Structure 1
Amino acid sequence: MGIFSPISATYGVRVDQLLETADDYRRYHSKLNRKLQGLRHRCQVVTKDTRKYSSKEKYSKFDNTEYDHKNKLYGVLVLLHAERDLSLVERLKLRARQRGKFKTSEKRVLRTRLRRAVQTTERLVNLTKNEGQWVTRMQYLIYRKLVHVEYLAHGNLSKNKDSKTISKELSLCFAALSHLRQSNLISETTFDFLQGTYEYTLKQHAGNILSTAELKNFVVTKVGEAHETDDELAKLLFSNGYKIELQDIKRDDTGSLEKIQWRAFTARIHDLQVENFIQEAQSIVIKNISSFDDKLSKWQQALERQEERIENHEAQEEEEEEEFDGVESSENDQILLAFIKYNMLFTSILRDNYLFNQLWNQWTKLGTSMPSKLTKYKEIERIVNNLLKYLQDIMELPGVYSDDNLLAQLQLCRIHFKLTLSSGCLASIYQSKGEYMKSLALHLDAHKQLSASLRDVGDLNEIIVPSDILSQRKINCLQHLIKTGWTSVLALAQYEKRLAEREQNKYEPSLIERLDFGSVKPEMIKLDNMFPLRPKLGPVPSKPTLFDLAFNYISYETTDEQKQNEAITTEQSAASFPDEKERAQTQQESNKKRGFLGIFSR
Structure 2
Amino acid sequence: MESPLATTLGTRMSAYLITSNDFKKQRQKINKQIKNLRHELNLINHDSKKYKVVKFTKDQYQSNKNYGLIYLLLAERDFLYGLEMKNILEIDDIKSKSKSKSNSNSKLHKNYKKLLITKFKRSLIHAKELLDLTNEESINDIKVELFVYTALIIDYLYNTHNNNNNNNNNNGEDENNDDDEEEADSFNKTLFNELIETLVDPSLNLAISQLEIHSTTDLKSIARKHCHDNEVPYLTPVLNLIDSKYTTTAENIANEDNFEISKQVNWRDHSAYIYNDEVALKISYLNNNIHWDKSNDINQFDSIITQWNEILSLHKSDTERNQDDDDLEQVQNRAILLTYINYNLLFTTLKRDLLLIGQLAKIDDNKDIIRLFNGILVIVQNLKDLPGVYNDEDLYDSLDNLEKFFIAQKNQVIAESYQFNSQFAESLKIYQFINQEISNATTTTKQGSSSFYKTDFPFNISTNEQIAIFKNDITKKILQNQISAQFEQSKVISSSPYTIENLNKYPKGLTTIINLNKIEPMMCKPVLFDVAFNYISYDSTKQTTTNTATTTPVETSSPDVDETIDNENSKKRGFFGIFGRR
Q: Under a length normalisation based on structure 2, what TM-score does the superposition of the two structures give?
A: 0.39
Q: Under a length normalisation based on structure 1, what TM-score does the superposition of the two structures give?
A: 0.38
- Please tell me whether Structure 1 or Structure 2 has the larger radius of gyration of its CA atoms: 2
